[in-house]
Chains A and B, each alone.
Chain A
């Protein structure tokens, strides 16, 4: 029950967003959108933005930012967080917090909070609200979706504009989660009980929008006149109509009845082509979709086998036929475009790629490692153990299934047998966390730096336990040491160095086999609104559903009515 921040990006599934979303945040809603339209008579023109942020059935009212099924628009637009961290380049923008400092031991974090901010009921905002919010997470661990209180010792406001976070030991990597927590008003929330179950029918926040009306079919917000940078907000009204399917969402976008969405659907290409002057799609790669080998499997634990599998994959075909061209082939380093700064010097600032499918190269790799081809065309080791694997995948994720069917064809050409084991989402997650698979296709966690992807995936501390995320069971002292090096410092240069070491391990040892770059989908039209994030100006991840805390707020601050 995530307060939001960055979390697991895994797969998108059946057409859209349904699965993806859920995966990301637990926010119920998937897509956010805005659509626009201008209405008005005479000299007062009202600018309305219409967003499609979830594809599914009717809304149920959940206006608490700590509800696992929070409604669109609550996160970031009604309630704000301390600092916005851009998920593409890690850039920070002060919001309710204006600055922060770590002490020399990295155990005390001091935030200055913004002055002159008011809740939309005109009560003044202060550092006490921040301290209250974090202490509420301690009282209700259900709401503490990032497990901050595993590391925190105390949170207290020392004056009206200063909050001090004291950690049990050095924990600078918790910073993005603190920055991303939505702050709620103490004067209204001190008696509401469990914030994950609080319906919050009249949400009072500090953000740019306030609730106008909730109905199961449409949620409407209007501009909050007491917002601390209200002059930047040109959106007078923001509507989130319920949209039942991707088809309907795109149809509304084409008809100009919606301005903003985030859906995964092959038909997005057709949508862009229909009016390429106004219709745009800007998917942002966030984390690799990868083939996770079970390293306790005697065959998959051999580097040569993992290398051969990787060599044989036709990532281009997966990208085109399996993912409708939205997801580019992944880099062996596991880094995303935009994270080139974390590459080691050998790459000259260019993300390395896997290159085209090379079945004969894969065969050579296998032969060198002592595998021989059997009469059935499948390689086996000296003891006759065949290279025949089952790959576990959620049956609902139609694009993953397509990718793996392509992988099946690719691997067959290299003498490796692959069988798809399609399971329910629940079984998939259970199998993944309990290492009950041979191969498995999955995304991963991500955050403002590659550390938030690599640490859960590779740290030996995450192999066992209820929250296991080192699914492949990679256990390597060098890796752990590099991860600790990163976590122990708040110095960006030292952190960078640690990540370079980690990405080298990724590329050389293939603890997992990256396939494609999973993206955050984002579609918009410029018919009514301009100023959207673009690849030239990636000021935020554009998706209409909230991914990293504060993305949507940044978009609202940048939008201008089309002339």
Chain B
């Protein structure tokens, strides 16, 4: 459902596949040692911090995401007004009293934007996690088990990869009562295949690694091998996948809400857009109503995309920008 056209082929994911050879840690790398999930996570966190500190894109992306996360967390503490409170001040343009004016029902747009951040951010991340969870399960189980299980799962993955997720989600969601949970479930069920495919490929390459063979030899249970041995080694790929998925999901949820499938007992960016569009905000020229929610979606999305591209650069040094490499190359040529 991504509305982002290329999500699957996004540099992040495209590169994830392409970069598997250079990035896949070799046996002997710290990451490949057997160890507790906690220790692995800690190692990932540490390298994440190093990445933030060293890469401008990662830093900028993290900053944007942190900003929206803070607004989501603290927003309700700053805004004391009920964002759904109807007043008699209709369609007012921005002023000191209403920073982003009011809408058709006299509701304060700024309050709606701030309070709506929580729902938008929360559901984007939660749904993103749900998607990644499905991807992990299908990808790892298929990749590790191989044989008929793998054939079946990767067939399923490939089939769902072909089915366009947004139209499917639109049609599916109309049969159920309007609620954010419905949207989240439908979006999760239609967006998992790409991640599953990437993780399966990675798991496949890891299946015959020493530490896995060793675990199998020592009689560990299959599910433990998959989730306690292999999974920790794929955390970095899962994290990158999570970031891209969250962009898709953010846009997908907003898209469905724009179409009117949102729960209007609550407020979110997508619901604001739907209400503005369906109440003639264009005709009344209430740009302060329809412009900000979309801008927030694009900004948060851009933050996630930056983080994602940054991660790629950290992982694949070839993508890092060098000063005028072309010029250098030309000089070399001249010298030759």
Is there any pair of Cβ atoms, one from A and one from B, under 8 angstroms apart in the complex? yes
Q: Are B284 and A270 in contact (CB under 8 A)?
A: yes
Q: Are B86 and A265 in contact (CB under 8 A)?
A: no
Q: Which of B91, B178, B283, B285 contacts A422, CB < 8 Å?
A: B178
B residues contacting the other copy or chain, number (CB 8 A): 24
Q: Are A405 and B280 in contact (CB under 8 A)?
A: no
Interface positions of B from 104 to 147, Cβ below 8 Å from A:
104-106
Q: Do A266 and B177 form a contact, CB below 8 Å, given A321-B88, A324-B104?
A: no
Decide if B294 is an interface residue (CB 8 Å cutoff): no
Decide if B331 is an interface residue (CB 8 Å cutoff): no
B283 to chain A, nearest CB (A): 4
Give B177-207 as 1s and 0s: 1 = Cβ < 8 Å from A's Cβ atoms. 1100000000000000000000000000000
Interface positions of B from 241 to 280, Cβ below 8 Å from A:
260, 263-265, 275, 278-280
User: When chains A and B are docked, how far (Å) is the Cα of A423 from the Cα of B177?
Assistant: 6
Q: Are A395 and B86 in contact (CB under 8 A)?
A: no
User: When chains A and B are docked, how far (Å) is the Cα of A247 from the Cα of B88?
Assistant: 23
User: When chains A and B are docked, how far (Å) is the Cα of A317 from the Cα of B275?
Assistant: 19
A11 to chain B, nearest CB (A): 15
Chain B minimum-CB-distance residue to A403: B86
Chain A minimum-CB-distance residue to B105: A321
Q: Do A320 and B280 form a contact, CB below 8 Å, given A14-B260, A422-B265, A424-B177?
A: no
Among A317, A321, A395, A422, the one with the most B-chain Cβ atoms within 10 Å of its Cβ is: A321
Interface positions of A from 403 to 441, Cβ below 8 Å from B:
405-406, 409, 420, 422-424, 427
Decide if A250 is an interface residue (CB 8 Å cutoff): yes
A41 to chain B, nearest CB (A): 35
Q: Are B275 and A398 in contact (CB under 8 A)?
A: yes
A197 to chain B, nearest CB (A): 26
Decide if A401 is an interface residue (CB 8 Å cutoff): yes
Q: Which of B90, B263, B280, B285 contacts A321, CB < 8 Å?
A: B90
Q: Which residues of A contact B283 (CB under 8 A)?
A: 246-247, 250-251, 265, 267, 270-271
B270 to chain A, nearest CB (A): 15
Chain A minimum-CB-distance residue to B88: A320
Chain A minimum-CB-distance residue to B178: A395
Q: Which of B87, B275, B280 contacts A247, CB < 8 Å?
A: B280
Interface positions of B from 83 to 100, Cβ below 8 Å from A:
84-88, 90-91
Q: Which of B84, B105, B264 contacts A322, CB < 8 Å?
A: B105
Q: Do A250 and B280 form a contact, CB below 8 Å, given A266-B104, A322-B105?
A: yes
A269 to chain B, nearest CB (A): 8
Q: Are B263 and A422 in contact (CB under 8 A)?
A: yes
Q: Are B178 and A402 in contact (CB under 8 A)?
A: no
Q: Which residues of B contact A247 (CB under 8 A)?
A: 280, 282-283
Chain A minimum-CB-distance residue to B102: A321
Decide if A47 is an interface residue (CB 8 Å cutoff): no
Chain B minimum-CB-distance residue to A321: B86
Q: Which residues of B contact A424 (CB under 8 A)?
A: 177-178
User: When chains A and B are docked, how far (Å) is the Cα of A467 from the Cα of B283?
Assistant: 41
Q: Do A402 and B280 form a contact, CB below 8 Å, given A320-B88, A427-B177?
A: no
Interface positions of B from 282 to 315, Cβ below 8 Å from A:
282-285
Q: Are B280 and A266 in contact (CB under 8 A)?
A: yes
Give A442-457 as 1s and 0s: 1 = Cβ < 8 Å from B's Cβ atoms. 0000000000000000
Interface positions of A from 319 to 335, Cβ below 8 Å from B:
320-322, 324
Chain A minimum-CB-distance residue to B280: A267
B264 to chain A, nearest CB (A): 6
Q: Do A15 and B106 form a contact, CB below 8 Å, given A267-B284, A270-B283?
A: no
B60 to chain A, nearest CB (A): 37
A16 to chain B, nearest CB (A): 9
B103 to chain A, nearest CB (A): 10
Q: Are B264 and A317 in contact (CB under 8 A)?
A: no
Q: Which residues of A contact B104 (CB under 8 A)?
A: 266, 324
Q: Which residues of B contact A321 (CB under 8 A)?
A: 86-88, 90, 105-106
Q: Do A402 and B278 form a contact, CB below 8 Å, given A251-B283, A266-B284, A424-B177?
A: no
Interface of B, secondary structure class, is loop
A residues contacting the other copy or chain, number (CB 8 A): 29
Interface positions of A from 451 to 497, Cβ below 8 Å from B:
none
Among B85, B106, B278, the one with the most A-chain Cβ atoms within 10 Å of its Cβ is: B278
User: When chains A and B are docked, how far (Å) is the Cα of A64 from the Cα of B299?
Assistant: 52
Q: Which of A320, A406, A423 contacts B90, CB < 8 Å?
A: A320
Among B87, B88, B178, B279, the one with the most A-chain Cβ atoms within 10 Å of its Cβ is: B279
A245 to chain B, nearest CB (A): 9
Q: Which of A14, A317, A322, A422 contacts B278, CB < 8 Å?
A: A14
Q: Which residues of B contact A265 (CB under 8 A)?
A: 279-280, 283
Q: Which residues of B contact A194 (CB under 8 A)?
A: none
B104 to chain A, nearest CB (A): 5
Interface positions of B from 143 to 192, Cβ below 8 Å from A:
177-178
Q: Which residues of B contact A320 (CB under 8 A)?
A: 88, 90
User: When chains A and B are docked, how far (Å) is the Cα of A303 from the Cα of B43?
Assistant: 68
Q: Are A420 and B265 in contact (CB under 8 A)?
A: yes
Q: Are B280 and A409 in contact (CB under 8 A)?
A: no
Q: Which residues of B contact A427 (CB under 8 A)?
A: 177
User: When chains A and B are docked, how far (Å) is the Cα of A265 from the Cα of B106?
Assistant: 15
Interface positions of A from 251 to 292, Cβ below 8 Å from B:
251, 265-267, 270-271
User: When chains A and B are docked, how far (Å) is the Cα of A167 from the Cα of B178?
Assistant: 47
User: When chains A and B are docked, how far (Å) is the Cα of A321 from the Cα of B105?
Assistant: 5
Q: Which residues of B contact A324 (CB under 8 A)?
A: 90, 104
Q: Which residues of A contact B275 (CB under 8 A)?
A: 398
User: When chains A and B are docked, how far (Å) is the Cα of A267 from the Cα of B105?
Assistant: 12
Q: Do A246 and B106 form a contact, CB below 8 Å, given A14-B260, A321-B87, A396-B260?
A: no
Q: Which residues of B contact A15 (CB under 8 A)?
A: 278-280
Q: Do A422 and B264 form a contact, CB below 8 Å, given A270-B283, A270-B284?
A: yes
Chain A minimum-CB-distance residue to B275: A398
Q: Which residues of A contact B278 (CB under 8 A)?
A: 14-15, 398
Q: Which of B84, B88, B91 contacts A317, CB < 8 Å?
A: B88
Q: Which residues of B contact A317 (CB under 8 A)?
A: 86, 88
Give B20-62 as 1s and 0s: 1 = Cβ < 8 Å from A's Cβ atoms. 0000000000000000000000000000000000000000000
What 10 A-B pairs come out closest when comparing CB atoms?
A267-B280, A267-B283, A321-B86, A265-B280, A321-B105, A266-B104, A395-B178, A247-B283, A15-B278, A321-B106
Q: 19 interchain pairs (CB within 8 A)?
A: A15-B279, A15-B280, A247-B283, A250-B280, A266-B90, A266-B91, A266-B279, A266-B280, A267-B284, A270-B285, A320-B88, A322-B105, A398-B279, A402-B105, A405-B84, A406-B86, A424-B177, A424-B178, A427-B177
Q: A265-B280, A266-B104, A321-B88 are in contact. List 10 more A-B contacts (CB 8 A).
A: A15-B279, A247-B282, A270-B284, A270-B285, A321-B105, A395-B264, A398-B264, A402-B86, A409-B86, A422-B264
Give residues in B with beta carbon < 8 Å to A: 84-88, 90-91, 104-106, 177-178, 260, 263-265, 275, 278-280, 282-285
